Amino acid sequence: MQSTQFDLGGRRAIITGGAQGIGKAIAERFLASGAKVALWDVDPMLEETASELGGAGDVIGQKVDVSNFDAVKAATDEVVAQWGGVDILCANAGIAGPTSTLWEYPIDQWLAVQNVNVNGVFYCARAVVPHMIAQNYGRIINTASIAGKEGNPNASAYSTSKAAVIGMTKSLGKELSQHNISVNCITPVTADTRILDQMSEEFIEYMRSKIPRGRFITVAEIAATVSWMASEENGFTTAGIYDLSGGRATY
């Protein structure tokens, strides 16, 4: 199937969690559409991915822990110094955390999930948004989850964090509504990525059984939606939640 091409020519994008999975697929799509891409990750695959994708366009790989605001701010400053600004932010980095009932959930793991999945999105927006306001242009796409809408049993930390991302997206989108900046998020079901390594086989099958399509979403399907959301054509919708759940949720 031939991909629809959205014009991202000359746009400067930051993609967190860009070394593998959804983030890498988004990066590939952005590069094919003409964007420059900064990949942020702590994954050891970062350097290899940046090198691999470098043949497709302008790519920089930055080792960034999104749960550390100083690291996020420093990396943002580097991108702005090199490219003159930031047009697109895909706040995609996330961790699943262990499978556990809420009353038995390890407190340190709960905090770790919130620090990456919630604080990480906040820190990235806090660092990048002032640059977008200054140029009166920007597209922000946050990766939430169907778990943020419906809640998954034995995944309270993850579900809570993704519900927070949805709420943050709605607030920020309204705050920036008078600027040419669109802020939206996606709520996919599970994709077949490395995040499944953190989950039990029983839980994986539970999640698959809830999807009317009968399968997990592909990273290419997610990247296709995000590429439009990141384009100039998406100039009106903001504070929106884009469902990518294969019919599991319709709101």
Which two three-digit tokens encode residue 103? 């009353």
Annotated active-site residue in 105, 123, 137, 158: 158
DSSP state letter for 155:
B
- What is the enclosing helix (H) or strand (E) of 229? helix 219-229
Sheet arrangement for strand 12-16: 59-63, 36-41, 12-16, 88-91, 138-143, 181-188, 240-244
Q: Catalytic: 158?
A: yes
Question: Looking at the DSSP assignment, which residues form a beta bridge with residue 41?
Answer: 63
Q: Give the E-state strand segments of 136-180 in sequence order.
A: 138-143
CA distance 26 to 224: 8
- 190, 216 Cβ separation under 8 angstroms: yes
Question: Looking at the DSSP assignment, which residues form a beta bridge with residue 61?
Answer: 39
What are the angstrom distances between the C-alpha of 192 and each of 99, 158, 168, 196?
18, 17, 26, 7
User: Would you name the residues annotated as active-site residues?
Assistant: 158
